[in-house]
Amino acid sequence: MKRTMTGIVLVFFLVPALVLAAADPGNKDVVKFGTADWNSSTGKVVVPIIIVNDEPVTAMDIPLKFGNADDAITFVRANFEGGRVSDFDFKITKFDNKTKTVLIGLVSSGQSMKPAMKSGSDAVGYLEFTVGEQVKEFTIDIDQSKAPQHTLTLIENRDVNGGKEVIDFAPEFVPGVIRLDKVGAGLPKEYGFKGNYPNPFNPKTRISFALPKQAKVTLDIYNILGQKVRTLVNGDMEAGYQSVEWDGTDDNGVGISSGVYLYKLDANQGEFRRVSKMTFLK
């Protein structure tokens, strides 16, 4: 279906009245969730939203529901910093913790044309929740209550015969089953290292690890020549599941160049130490 690009993607969410009429013309796009990070000291759970797409995506409508009505789960926000849509003009989130629903609308361009989300399979953003200690597991699923005005939809902008064709369709959806196995235990029983996500990344990534006790932690970034680029942590950290974000800048606030970087985590002067690689892409 051919449509005028100006305005269609914005109307798509702000005045939701489109009728889905197209099937995904390429490989099946998928909306799913990545591995959740849980910080026991704050009770916050961070869940990546991942989209697998084979063509540039210009807009998306994602209506979600989470847990059950009486569950001690509170939606805090949708964070798109460090995700694949961080440069989009419109990042709209509407939520209701009474009905346990979240409606997300993402639109690449307003008045002027901006780049669409390129094909890929990384996180577009992160859902943040707080949960009670009694919660062991909850599911993030599609919210059908807002249909037909809002249904799970992606809009792709395809090159067809030298022109542009805008197609909206329903991607495959994989519910997220968020298991909080360590909630009952409260704190991790041993050191753990989950690495960084996303990887490769642009512009931001998160490095996650676990501390079974309070520890003096250093977390440093090095270039491939072994030169220190950035110190992210240098001090005491509380026991728990920790996550540190890096925005791709050095200690002077200057953006780094594309390439491979090393990061070294050290807890209590070598009691626990890990070195890993990450790739920054521009």
pLDDT tens for the chain, 282 residues: list them.
Answer: 333 443 444 444 544 444 444 666 667 899 999 888 876 556 688 899 999 998 889 999 999 999 988 888 999 999 998 788 888 889 999 999 999 999 999 998 755 567 888 889 989 999 999 887 778 889 999 999 887 888 999 988 776 666 667 788 899 999 999 887 644 445 677 899 988 988 999 989 999 998 988 899 999 999 999 999 999 999 999 888 788 999 999 999 999 999 999 999 999 999 999 999 999 998
Report pTM.
0.60
Pair 74, 129: CB distance under 8 Å: yes
DSSP 8-state symbol, 22: -
Distance separating alpha carbons of residues 68 and 47, to the nearest angstrom: 17
Q: Which of 146, 139, 137, 138 is nearest to 175 (CA)?
A: 139
Domains of the chain by start residue, with CATH: 5-179 (2.60.40.680), 192-280 (2.60.40.4070)
Pair 156, 166: CB distance under 8 Å: yes
| Sign, CA torsion 64/123/133/184 | positive
Pair 220, 263: CB distance under 8 Å: yes
pLDDT at 2: 34
CA 132 to chain centre: 22
